[in-house]
Amino acid sequence: MDLNKSNVYECWLNYKHLPHNFDDEYKRFCSYIVAKSNPPIINSALEELKFAFTRFMGRMPEVLDSYPDSDCILVGTLDDAADEALRVSRGDLPEDGFMVHKFERNGKNVLAVIGKNEKGALYGVFHLLRSMCCGKPLAQVQGIDGPRNPLRVINHWDNLSGDIERGYAGKSIFFKDNRIVSDLSRVKDYARLLASVGVNGVAINNVNVHQVETRLITDEFLPDVARIADVFRQYGIKLYLSINFAAPVEIGGLPTADPLDESVKKWWRDVADNIYKYIPDFGGFVVKADSEFRPGPFTYGRNHAEGANMLAEALKPHGGVVFWRAFVYNCQVDWRDRSVDRAKAAYENFKPLDGKFLDNVIVQIKNGPMDFQIREPVSPLFGAMEKTNVAVEFQITQEYTGQQKDLCYLVTMWKEVLDFDTYAKGQGSTVSKVVSGSLFRMEYGGVVGVSNIGDSKCWTGHPLAQANLYGFGRLGWNPELSAQEIAEEWVKLTFGHDKQVVDTIVSMLMASRDIYEKYTAPLGIGWMVNPGHHYGPNVDGYEYSHWGTYHYADWKGIGVDRTVATGTGFTAQYREPVASMYENIETCPDELLLFFHHVPYTHKLKSGKTVIQHIYDTHFEGAEEAEGLKEKWLTLKGKVDDEIFDMVLERLEMQIKNAIEWRDVVNTYFYRKTGIDDIHGRKIYK
């Protein structure tokens, strides 16, 4: 128990901010903890309680294996609580769920946190501590809860060199100089953070599996991979590895990686068997195949189902799964060919395979049909896979959304995605129900998030970007939580209960996605970023590229016609009434107008503004509002931790600079192209 870590490092688990109702509701329970057994995950729960209660009370609680003559906390599994009259049976608790229940025993109050299993108990403890710190009344904290999504997994795009692809928070906490780090204390702190928000899986290496990383599945690295798995296991988190589909050739000495070849199948079975010797609860593989120059089954004339199933068969005897990414598209497009539409690719590749995947394959689908832009429609593939396990992939790391220099609370966006109605089984067929498996009664499914952490002091580069990691977990646990609720929880846990602090930071978070959208690419068109690193404006940056990412702006108009009537026909991948809504320019929401339609700059939006005036207005507003974020933040000086205050302020200043650059480049670009003046006469550089 290290009480000397900085606030910014401790994140939302600092336990330093007691709510007004603490003494009345909770204090009495914080001196004694009863645990009748102490297996590793329960032990993590007890460690957490001891740490928190020490912070709360200024002294260490006692942990006992029988009841004291005082009020106390009881922690354990259903088995541990068999003696108590809790009136709860195994069937009452959801998988990995828990019950919190207060009862009297010999005149003393016992607050019981009982898990269906060890993991449930750990989640229950984090639930209780979070509720205590947030000032939730004990009456509301009691009851049964469990995760809505079976799989809540973080994908790390960490390379063994220590570099992180699309990482904006320092180097890898797992890897350095092509080895696994020896000191795993930071990994343990990370596991705690993840478990506290319900994450139950982590893929530790980049989906782009390079030469060295291909060998992670061999005896050379597995002893060290197992050390990491041991740390995560204590927090109920399974370890996954991204694999190289061509590994049988590259490291196996086979002449082929054909998934239907018997020697290839055997090779992967042997690999899987060997991994499970080191890591008995190994989660499985994450696979990026036939995507952006990665090898895959196409090389051998096989399809994605054949590729995925071959791996799934190898893992099946051990209970492992395959996350097979649907991010498959032609990335060597000729920009001259307007008939090709990258947005259509995932659906076209995977819809025909629905029902062909084994039951331990999960197709991992990015939230939108393009690539993590600040505004995209939801991928139509979610409504199309009725007989396939699917998961939604969110990008917690802010590749296109400000790179943890700009504030962008992404939970609002993810919430929109999860709430999106696919109409796959009539109204109410939300993405949330698709990925949880409940809509189509699939066993596996859930949420996957691309990690935003590194070895930065605050984990996430921008301290306020911690809210995205927190929110990813919380939303994955319960997609019915609102973005606002999650923001409030996170702010209270991180910064405490001062109303001004809570209101200010929550309002900053809640406004941040809109602000970022305003000063970047307009009306759902996306891209317009500098190629390669993807930070900062470059309107034509991807316009003549092979990546399939175009805006088609000319002197008259802008946008991609994806209608069936006159365009690429992408809208037909949605079910009705969604397809018609997007197809029809009258009903297509403004914020996605340019994603679905090519319109003149003089086209009137539902707001009554022309497209060109909307571009000017939003860019002036966005930059102003970015400055407004700083002004709001400045009011918190002295009211939040000084170090965090300074770190955030530094980032907000970077954001303002970026926002002004975006404003001016975008406005100048469109002014130079159209010759149309801003009706308000604001400064546009000619």
Smaller CB distance to its own copies: residue 59 or 672? 672
Q: Taking the complex as a whole, how short is the minimal distance between the CB of residue 685 and its own copies, in angstroms? A: 4
Q: Taking the complex as a whole, how short is the minimal distance between the CB of residue 342 and its own copies, in angstroms? A: 18
What DSSP letter does each residue of 579-606 carry, written as one string?
A: HHHHHSTTTS-GGGHHHH--EETTPBPT
| The only residue of 314, 411, 539, 599 in contact with its own copies, by rule CB under 8 A | 539
What strands, in cross-sheet order, belong to the sheet with 108-115? 62-64, 32-35, 72-77, 108-115, 98-105, 143-145
Residues 74 and 81 sit within 8 Å (Cβ to Cβ): yes
Q: Taking the complex as a whole, how short is the minimal distance between the CB of residue 529 and its own copies, in angstroms? A: 12
Burial of 587 (0-12, 13-18, 19+ CB in 10 A): exposed
CA 389, distance to chain mean position in Å, is: 18
| The only residue of 20, 87, 680, 686 in contact with its own copies, by rule CB under 8 A | 686
Q: Taking the complex as a whole, how short is the minimal distance between the CB of residue 165 and its own copies, in angstroms? A: 18
Rounded Cα–Cα distance for residues 202 and 408 (Å): 23
Please state, in angstroms and as integers, the Cα–Cα distance from residue 634 to each residue in 389, 500, 503, following that order: 47, 12, 14
| The only residue of 47, 540, 621, 627 in contact with its own copies, by rule CB under 8 A | 540
Smaller CB distance to its own copies: residue 23 or 677? 677
Smaller CB distance to its own copies: residue 293 or 544? 544
Rounded Cα–Cα distance for residues 264 and 270 (Å): 10
- Kindly state whether residue 199 participates in binding its own copies, applying the rule CB under 8 A: no
Binding mask 28-67 for its own copies (x = CB under 8 A): ----------------------------------------
Smaller CB distance to its own copies: residue 608 or 675? 675
Rounded Cα–Cα distance for residues 429 and 491 (Å): 32
Q: Where in 544-573 is the site for its own copies (CB under 8 A)? A: 544, 553-556
Rounded Cα–Cα distance for residues 264 and 269 (Å): 9
Q: Taking the complex as a whole, how short is the minimal distance between the CB of residue 566 and its own copies, in angstroms? A: 14
Using the contact rule CB under 8 A, the part of the chain among 95-103, 278-286, 508-516, 525-533 near its own copies is 525-533
Smaller CB distance to its own copies: residue 42 or 521? 521
The active-site residue, picked from 189, 371, 376, 393, is 371
Cβ atoms within 10 Å, residue 235: 25
Using the contact rule CB under 8 A, the part of the chain among 219-227, 269-277, 290-298, 528-536 near its own copies is 528-536
Type of residue at 520: T
Smaller CB distance to its own copies: residue 129 or 626? 626
Q: Taking the complex as a whole, how short is the minimal distance between the CB of residue 601 and its own copies, in angstroms? A: 12
- By rule CB under 8 A, what count of residues binds its own copies? 26
Smaller CB distance to its own copies: residue 336 or 441? 336
Is 213 catalytic? The answer is no
Instruction: Find the helix or strand (DSSP H, E) in which 448 lies.
Output: strand 446-450
| The only residue of 176, 186, 657, 673 in contact with its own copies, by rule CB under 8 A | 673
The active-site residue, picked from 399, 561, 583, 625, is 399
Type of residue at 209: V
Tokens for 271?
């690999």
Residues 309 and 357 sit within 8 Å (Cβ to Cβ): yes
Q: Taking the complex as a whole, how short is the minimal distance between the CB of residue 57 and its own copies, in angstroms? A: 52
Cβ atoms within 10 Å, residue 392: 28
Looking up tokens 């946190």 gives 113
| The only residue of 537, 548, 559, 567 in contact with its own copies, by rule CB under 8 A | 537
Smaller CB distance to its own copies: residue 254 or 665? 665
| The only residue of 91, 107, 608, 675 in contact with its own copies, by rule CB under 8 A | 675
Residues 599 and 566 sit within 8 Å (Cβ to Cβ): no
- Kindly state whether residue 77 participates in binding its own copies, applying the rule CB under 8 A: no
Exposure string of 622-660, with b = 16+ CB inside 10 Å and e = fewer, is bbbbbbebbebbeebeeebbeebbebbeebbebbbebbb
Cβ atoms within 10 Å, residue 426: 8
CA angle, residues 357, 208, 443, in degrees to nearest 5 = 30
Whether the ω angle into residue 577 lies within 30 degrees of 0, i.e. cis, is yes
Q: Taking the complex as a whole, how short is the minimal distance between the CB of residue 429 and its own copies, in angstroms? A: 39
Q: Taking the complex as a whole, how short is the minimal distance between the CB of residue 552 and its own copies, in angstroms? A: 8
Q: Where in 651-670 is the site for its own copies (CB under 8 A)? A: 661, 664-665, 668-669
- Kindly state whether residue 527 participates in binding its own copies, applying the rule CB under 8 A: no
Evaluate the CA torsion angle 596, 601, 607, 613 in order and state its sign: positive
Smaller CB distance to its own copies: residue 103 or 552? 552
Smaller CB distance to its own copies: residue 58 or 675? 675
Q: Taking the complex as a whole, how short is the minimal distance between the CB of residue 539 and its own copies, in angstroms? A: 7
Specify the pairing of strand 389-395 against strand 361-366.
parallel
Is 224 catalytic? The answer is no
**CB proximity list for 68: less than 8 A, separation 6 or greater:** 32, 34, 62, 108
Q: Where in 301-360 is the site for its own copies (CB under 8 A)? A: 335-336
Is 145 catalytic? The answer is no
Closest C-alpha to 198, from 146, 129, 134 = 146
Binding mask 399-418 for its own copies (x = CB under 8 A): --------------------
Using the contact rule CB under 8 A, the part of the chain among 85-93, 361-369, 387-395, 531-539 near its own copies is 531-539
Using the contact rule CB under 8 A, the part of the chain among 234-242, 494-502, 526-534, 560-568 near its own copies is 526-534
| The only residue of 532, 608, 638, 681 in contact with its own copies, by rule CB under 8 A | 532
Rounded Cα–Cα distance for residues 154 and 151 (Å): 10
Q: Taking the complex as a whole, how short is the minimal distance between the CB of residue 568 and its own copies, in angstroms? A: 15
Smaller CB distance to its own copies: residue 277 or 533? 533
- Kindly state whether residue 20 participates in binding its own copies, applying the rule CB under 8 A: no
Q: Taking the complex as a whole, how short is the minimal distance between the CB of residue 554 and its own copies, in angstroms? A: 4
The active-site residue, picked from 292, 419, 554, 646, is 292
Residues 475 and 486 sit within 8 Å (Cβ to Cβ): yes
Instruction: Find the helix or strand (DSSP H, E) in which 110 lies.
Output: strand 108-115
| The only residue of 5, 179, 672, 682 in contact with its own copies, by rule CB under 8 A | 672
3-state secondary structure 483-502: HHHHHHHHHHHHHCCCHHHH
Smaller CB distance to its own copies: residue 62 or 624? 624
- Kindly state whether residue 429 participates in binding its own copies, applying the rule CB under 8 A: no
Please state, in angstroms and as integers, the Cα–Cα distance from residue 68 to each residue in 86, 99, 613, following that order: 19, 22, 71
Rounded Cα–Cα distance for residues 254 and 278 (Å): 24
Exposure string of 535-551, with b = 16+ CB inside 10 Å and e = fewer, is bbbbbebbeeeebbbbb
Q: Could you give the residue numbers annotated as active site?
A: 292, 371, 399
Interaction site with its own copies (CB under 8 A): 335-336, 530-532, 537-540, 544, 553-556, 661, 664-665, 668-669, 671-675, 685-686
